[in-house]
Amino acid sequence: MKNLFLILVITILFVSCNDKKDGEFKPRDFKSVEINTLLKDSLLNVRAIEVNKKGDLSFVSSKGNLGGNVSKGEDERVAISFQLKHDSIVPNFRSLAVTESAGFALSIASPALLYKVDKDSIRLVYKETREKAFYDSMDFWNDQEGIAIGDPTDDCMSIIITRDGGETWHKLSCEILPKVIEGEAAFAASDTNIAIVGDHTWVATGGKASRVLYSPDKGKSWEVYETPIIQGKETTGIYSIDFYDEKNGFGIGGDYTKAADSSANKIRTQDGGRTWQLVAENKSPGYRSCVQYVPNGDGKELVALGFKGIDYSSDSGNSWRHLSDEGFYTIRFLNDSVAYAAGRGRIAKLTFRE
């Protein structure tokens, strides 16, 4: 009986070890994407969308519109809720963030206008009138603390932060931020210049210099890392950045005026952004405005899109499959096979299939 028990234990251990080996993550292999248009309006230009924890979609547009889901299920559709105006100014919204209790919409150009929208009110909570004010992206660490980034108005990137649920925002002094290089700014292309994992924050810059600003403590201190992505012109650099965890991140962009150029437009880090390597050099896709990790993809599955189409990688960005020529600006995942995407004239639901 003792020997039988010992054999049983050894067998269980052996099987367990084999199961662990056989159970190593195997990424899926998406071969197609189904595109279901939820809102179509030729006047719309949408570069900022968000999906909350309940799966609800929100969006803002270049015409000051705010909107989102109005129904779900087979009859799912998206509608414009209202249009905001500040005096005679129609805000061009390119940044959106959503917390448990409120939404935040931030416009580009001067005056930069940041609105807080909740169930009781719509309020202007931040306004910046500096001539060079131009905000590109916004995100929140938690329900109380958030960050938005923009082009330089002095000798550093513009960064504003809230610590009270978005009621008040303050601009960080250039004394605590890395100095910009001449011609360095950012792109308001898809509201994905900021990536957050826990307290860690990465900010992508672009233009004549394209680097990554990093904060380990929710914006209290900063350092800057160089990248090998194409740079040197106002239209070059990182347009989008995403992190799967504290170590693994991906950046994409290029030059939208040379959309087919794939020579140095995709970069990856495996050490939290300290060092970056070019991947898939001279291989499609070329310029893309947004990249996102697929949820539950173990940092291996990525989707990138832009006005030239949608692409998928199952090997951390080393190789890509072109899934569609349909053009969009930005994407957010609902789960590991369904996402919302938006662009010029429409918002759609994307279903990825193996």
- Residue 236 CA, chain-centre distance (Å), reads 18
Average pLDDT value for residue range 49-76: 90
Per DSSP, 179 falls in state B
In a domain, 337, yes or no: yes
Neighbours of 88 (CB within 10 A): 5
192: Cβ contacts below 8 Å, ≥ 6 apart: 137, 239, 240, 241, 242, 290, 291, 292, 330
DSSP 8-class letter at 14: H
Q: Is 311 inside any structural domain?
A: yes
Measure the CA–CA gap between 204 and 213, rounded to whole angstroms: 7
Residue 19 lies in a domain: no
What's the structural domain count of the chain? 1
Which pLDDT tens digit goes with each residue over 170-204?
999 999 999 999 999 999 999 999 999 999 999 99
> Which residues on neighbouring strands pair with residue 160, listed in sequence order?
148, 171
In percent, the amount of the chain with pLDDT more than 70 equals 93
Predicted pLDDT at 22:
55
pLDDT band of residue 10 (cuts 50, 70, 90) is very low
Give the predicted TM-score (pTM) of the model.
0.92
Q: What is the DSSP string of 258-307?
A: GTT--SS-EEEESSTTSS-EE-STT-S----SEEEEPTTSTTT-EEEEET
Split at pLDDT 50, 70, 90, the class of 23 is low
Torsion angle defined by CA atoms of residues 251, 272, 150 and 255, in that order, rounded to the nearest 10 degrees: -20
Give bridge partners of residue 28 from the DSSP assignment: none
**What is the 3-state composition of the chain as percent helix, strand, coil, each rounded to the nearest 5?**
10, 45, 45
Instruction: Confirm whether 2 is domain-assigned.
Output: no
**Pick from 17-26, 115-124, 236-245: least confident:** 17-26
Is residue 10 situated within a structural domain?
no
Give the pLDDT mean for 255-282: 98
Which residues span the domain enclosing 289? 36-353
| Residue 111 covered by a domain | yes
Confidence of residue 279 (pLDDT cuts 50, 70, 90): very high
Q: Residue 11: inside a domain, yes or no?
A: no
At 141 the pLDDT is 98
Given this model, what pLDDT does residue 1 score? Answer: 43
SS3 of residue 325 by DSSP = coil
Per-residue pLDDT, averaged over 34-43, amounts to 94
pLDDT tens digits, 217-246: 999 999 999 999 999 999 999 999 999 999
Q: If you ran DSSP here, which 8-state letter would residue 73 be given? A: G
- Whether residue 232 is contained in a domain is answered as yes
For residue 200, give the CATH number of its domain.
Answer: 2.130.10.10
How far apart CA 167 and CA 183 sit, in angstroms, is 32
